[in-house]
Structure 1
Amino acid sequence: MLTFVYLMLIADMEEDLREYNPEGSDLRKLQLKMFEILQVVTSIAGKHSIPYWLSGGTLLGAARHGGFIPWDDDIDIELLLPDYKKLLKILEKELPSDLYLQTPKDKGYRLLFSKVRDKHSVVVEEDDLMDNYFEKGIYIDIFPEERSYKPLKNVVDFFYGRSFRRLKRGKPFHSLKYFYEYTLSLLLYPIGILLTWFARGLCAITHPNNILHSYGIGNTTNHNASYMFPLSTIEFEGKTFSAPGSTEAYLTKQYGDYMKIPPKDKRATHFLRVKYK
């Protein structure tokens, strides 16, 4: 459902962004399926009083369009690491049978964050050729966040995140390059684990105000706890969800002038196509 904010934005523009996801279009169908998954996951989180917040382009869409960015095919939520772990345990028990929880423990899944996927669809993405896990349905992303220091995280990610992804990718005999990367990762991964323990121990003592993706996920904007907490709420597609305490501060830090519509060549999508079972 288009919100008042979205309609006002369209009225002030020469370009009508509704051309990207009109009702009944393939993209809108995809977005609505993601929205269904989001409602299930956040409902379970709310039932168990587990704090989360909309993040990234999902939060941007909520603030600028009242829902999805018209060309977007992605939904992201974030939780602090202890809450993330708690939610995963509960989702394993309470997700409906048509949804699947995909975590870094899954064979062949190379990411250090989780997804909740629809079992009755298949999405085709650019890197699918090297992904050998089974469930590839429409999904939302669930990211763990931690208090840390960005330079420290960069060092840990270099050892831990890289080696984890290369080891989970497997296929060391695919090419000489892959063999080199796989063999090197066998050496670097234990170092990455030790560095992760060290970083978490240090941050438990110093309690930094920086909120970042958990170690190994990769770099992200360095948000500050002062405007992240306590959480607030925001409307997304006609429903209310949790959001950072100051949505404006969060989005300004991550995107700058976040109300400005990007040029057409910057309006990226993730999926190549979607098949429904």
Structure 2
Amino acid sequence: MERLTIDDMKSIELEIMDEIDRVCQAHGVQYFLGYGSLLGAVRHGGFIPWDDDMGIIMMRDQYELLMANFNEWRTTERFKLVSYRDKSSIYQFAKIVDTTTVIFENFVGKKAATGVWVDVFPLEHFSEQQGPALLKQHQRTGLLRSFAVADPSVGTNAFVKLVKRIVCPFVKNKDLYELAERLDRIALRMNAADSASTLVIDVLGEGKLEKMFSKDLLEPIRIPFEDREYFAPSGFEEYLSIQYGDWRTPPAENARPVHVMEAYRL
């Protein structure tokens, strides 16, 4: 296999995003750049220089439409939507992957490997009555899943490695697809509990009460990303402030995330 550089990965991710953009526009599915991809677009005009992945967000109804149809709508079999629902991925949210590549994440067991990807996160309508309890339930299940999928031989420090060595053997035989399904069911319950709510939240990706925001921010606009244009929420400044606080100021060099994956062309 040929080892891919970070620049190689970014080039492939742009090709995946081009396919997502093409398919979504052809079939009336609305997506938005989210998280670091949106931050990179606004602050850097593309990728955050030290980042190595991409992600989009969309309302749950649009997400389900893409989930059900992307693999039929795609223009090439090189790209594929993978999900726990057909056991093509262990993750609770969808990924669009390049099937000619494979990625091994440093802190995750090899059974989680997929191709170079773009993450797809659904947004749920937030239920003021049931929301806090559902988020706590999601966090507990998410912690269990994190230990079940973790590589116990790898950790950021000695304490983390020790905790993994103690906990991981007790959860290593957990069904990762069932755990992903359980997390998704919680998110769906949030959405069903108050589908008229004007507040939305990413349960599957973040699951944090303080990260919810007004659906009014999600009017679509096109913004530059590298030498392309993709959809972004018109309220991107408020969205980024909710997600990151002072997003305009880049972090110090010693506070920037490090590359934690190895990618190869098959």
Do both share a fold (TM > 0.5)? yes
Q: Is the 8 A contact 2:46 2:224 kept in 1?
A: yes
Listed as ranges, the matches of 1:5-154 within 5 Å are 26-95=5-74, 96-107=76-87, 109-129=89-109, 131-133=110-112, 136-149=114-127, 152-154=130-132
Residue 84 of structure 2 aligns to a residue in which SS? coil
Aligned-residue offset at 1:71: 0.8
Aligned-residue offset at 1:34: 0.5
Letter of the 2:117 partner, please give it: Y
Q: Which has the larger radius of gyration?
A: 1
Structure 2 unaligned residues grouped into runs of 5+:
151-163
Distance 1:118 1:151, change over 3 A: farther
Distance 1:65 1:32, change over 3 A: same
Q: Is residue 232 of structure 1 aligned with residue 221 of structure 2?
A: yes
Residue 112 of structure 1 aligns to a residue in which SS? coil
2:155 alignment partner in structure 1 = none
Q: Which moved more, 1:42-51 or 1:160-169?
A: 160-169
The CA deviation string for residues 234-254 of structure 1, in whole angstroms up to 9 with x for no partner, is 111121111112222211222
2:244 alignment partner in structure 1 = 255
Q: Which moved more, 1:150-159 or 1:231-240?
A: 150-159
1:6 alignment partner in structure 2 = none
Letter of the 2:213 partner, please give it: H
Aligned-residue offset at 1:132: 2.1
Aligned-residue offset at 1:229: 3.0
The CA deviation string for residues 33-66 of structure 1, in whole angstroms up to 9 with x for no partner, is 1111011011100111111100100001000111
Letter of the 1:79 partner, please give it: M
Aligned-residue offset at 1:164: 7.1
State how far apart, in whole Å, the 1-side matches of 2:198 and 2:121 are: 18
State how far apart, in whole Å, the 2-side matches of 1:191 and 1:99 are: 26
State how far apart, in whole Å, the 2-side matches of 1:56 and 1:189 are: 21
State how far apart, in whole Å, the 2-side matches of 1:128 and 1:43 are: 32
Aligned-residue offset at 1:215: 5.4
Structure 1 unaligned residues grouped into runs of 5+:
1-24
Aligned-residue offset at 1:259: 1.8
What RMSD, in angstroms, separates the aligned Cα atoms of the two structures? Answer: 3.5
The CA deviation string for residues 188-217 of structure 1, in whole angstroms up to 9 with x for no partner, is 99998886665444313xx22221114586
State how far apart, in whole Å, the 2-side matches of 1:238 and 1:189 are: 35
2:255 alignment partner in structure 1 = 266
State how far apart, in whole Å, the 1-side matches of 2:165 and 2:88 are: 18
Residue 140 of structure 1 aligns to a residue in which SS? strand
Distance 1:275 1:202, change over 3 A: closer
